[in-house]
Structure 1
């Protein structure tokens, strides 16, 4: 496989979505998909032409094969994926009632929850520019938390830059534990991504800029605040830069934060300055929410360029 520019590590699950939207109890069918923050980022980057590797643990089961096949089909390097016997691949169900999305996880004891430093050969990071991690993985188990710290430290020592998306999940761990873990990993993080809502929940300081500056003091050279439809902001070298979002019709908000992270990394790899990174990240987030699914609406490089240039095509 081609040496990856970006390596991502984390859990990807089989996804069941109520179709058409409504409550699960009334559903006659489920649309089958996959979903995982880190693989969403890997797929987004692969569609933009970035060599990307996803590392994860899957059960030796049909859901695991489905996950593996779909990620591999997107052009992501899955050569480091391991299949774990006697452990299931995680599952989550999603229902949408009005504009509210409800998610139910079945991931306790999953194959991915057994991730440890012994699961990953450090040579899988060779040649990479970035390692992308999220706060979902360490919330799966104490072993996963230790492995996430080990990965960040190992990458930094090897000269690989570390991107960490807080991605706080209240169904996996509490505010205090998530905030404490983030504090412990920050010294090894180059780029920290945090949503403004989760930032206010984990660190109830005054104002977005203060949150960014206090987090930057703990290690990251860049702190990016994701503001959803309102756009984003970045603190780098003491300068706080803000960028507005794009106005688009929103069909499904799931995966937008992962798309944003991918867009920011893509612009970074392309040599873009902070304003370009934020604009590209906002664009990918906007393109993601225009369709259904965790990653299905993510664009190709040409589609992203058209969106950023406000070019339209008849399509016929």
Structure 2
């Protein structure tokens, strides 16, 4: 057993984001874990890589940025994940996600079982992308039986999801994070509501989710907690790219929640973290947490 004590599990994809001029390490679970570690929360990443150069390079990166690869499985049959990221003139990013790859085949193993049996895990963070293959989806289903706060960061990437799987994930979640377009997509399934707050309330009611976060890009974010709404208008920054910005946002939100801060403090810090990471290239840049505090102070 790895002697580290963990607070959080991030489940799903680790990969290389292939940009027009370079490649950078990525995958939402890895990005969230990176920022959680920066914020002082030991995080286990449940994922998979191939037995290939890309996988070995990724392990080197993880080591260099202080992330624990103990729970990342090595797959002999499938390659390390790659995503071809295309950045538009407005800095928005579209993705071509290679499949099948190693993280599609995350299996239950003794390392996971021992951690789930012996550790005091407070949160499990997961998304929809890792459920595109039944193998990883089945492993996640078993992990979601563990008594921790379930955090769904939806991260819809067409065509890698179905309504059936999304509804299963939302019913399992205690906290859901999604952006405005994702909110519109999922709530159009069951409501005629058009207002932002109406849609959020409808989502909370249908899936019995007490806590919902909707990111609004440059316009900030809105948070729903047990029937009450909290907003932040966002921070004005010079954007390099938006890769990993939402992942940083989620990590910062969970940090505030763990520390017992108020919902308004949580959404403010999360908005600042997401904005600050957007000033860098890639999802795991080298930065100091104090920089985020300076952005809040102005």
Question: 1:11: which partner in 2?
Answer: 13
Q: Which deviates the most, 91-100 or 233-242?
A: 91-100
Query: Equivalent of 1:187, from 148, 158, 171?
Result: 171
RMSD, aligned CA: 1.9
- CA separation of 1:147 and 1:214: change in aligned 2, threshold 3 A: farther
Question: 1:93: which partner in 2?
Answer: 84
| TM-score for both structures, normalised by structure 2 | 0.90
Query: Equivalent of 1:121, from 90, 112, 117?
Result: 112
Question: 1:143: which partner in 2?
Answer: 135
Alignment partner of 1:201 is 2:194: no
Question: 2:45: which partner in 1?
Answer: 54
Alignment partner of 1:213 is 2:197: no
- Mark the runs of 5 or more structure 1 residues left unpaired by the alignment: 20-30, 311-316
1:1-55 deviations in Å (ceiling 9; x for gaps) = 4311221011111232212xxxxxxxxxxx2321100100000111122212212
Question: 1:301: which partner in 2?
Answer: 289
CA distance in 1, matches of 2:288, 2:36: 9
Partner SS for 2:31: helix
1:143-192 deviations in Å (ceiling 9; x for gaps) = 2233333222x223xxx11111111111323xxx1x33222233331111
Question: 2:266: which partner in 1?
Answer: 277
Question: 2:102: which partner in 1?
Answer: 111
- CA separation of 1:301 and 1:251: change in aligned 2, threshold 3 A: closer
CA distance in 2, matches of 1:150, 1:262: 23
- Asked whether the equivalents of residues 7 and 121 of structure 2 are also in contact (C-alpha less than 8 Å), the reply is yes
CA distance in 2, matches of 1:220, 1:69: 38
CA distance in 2, matches of 1:59, 1:119: 19
CA distance in 2, matches of 1:133, 1:119: 20
- CA separation of 1:273 and 1:144: change in aligned 2, threshold 3 A: same
CA distance in 1, matches of 2:93, 2:263: 32
- CA separation of 1:151 and 1:96: change in aligned 2, threshold 3 A: same
- Asked whether the equivalents of residues 155 and 162 of structure 1 are also in contact (C-alpha less than 8 Å), the reply is no
Partner SS for 2:146: helix
- Asked whether the equivalents of residues 73 and 106 of structure 2 are also in contact (C-alpha less than 8 Å), the reply is no
Partner SS for 2:67: coil
- Mark the runs of 5 or more structure 2 residues left unpaired by the alignment: none
- CA separation of 1:81 and 1:32: change in aligned 2, threshold 3 A: same
- CA separation of 1:36 and 1:275: change in aligned 2, threshold 3 A: same
- CA separation of 1:120 and 1:164: change in aligned 2, threshold 3 A: farther
CA distance in 2, matches of 1:273, 1:118: 38
CA distance in 2, matches of 1:172, 1:188: 19
CA distance in 2, matches of 1:148, 1:207: 33
1:208-236 deviations in Å (ceiling 9; x for gaps) = 21222222222322111111111111111
Alignment partner of 1:256 is 2:245: yes
| TM-score for both structures, normalised by structure 1 | 0.85
CA distance in 2, matches of 1:164, 1:97: 27
- CA separation of 1:183 and 1:96: change in aligned 2, threshold 3 A: closer
- Asked whether the equivalents of residues 47 and 74 of structure 1 are also in contact (C-alpha less than 8 Å), the reply is no
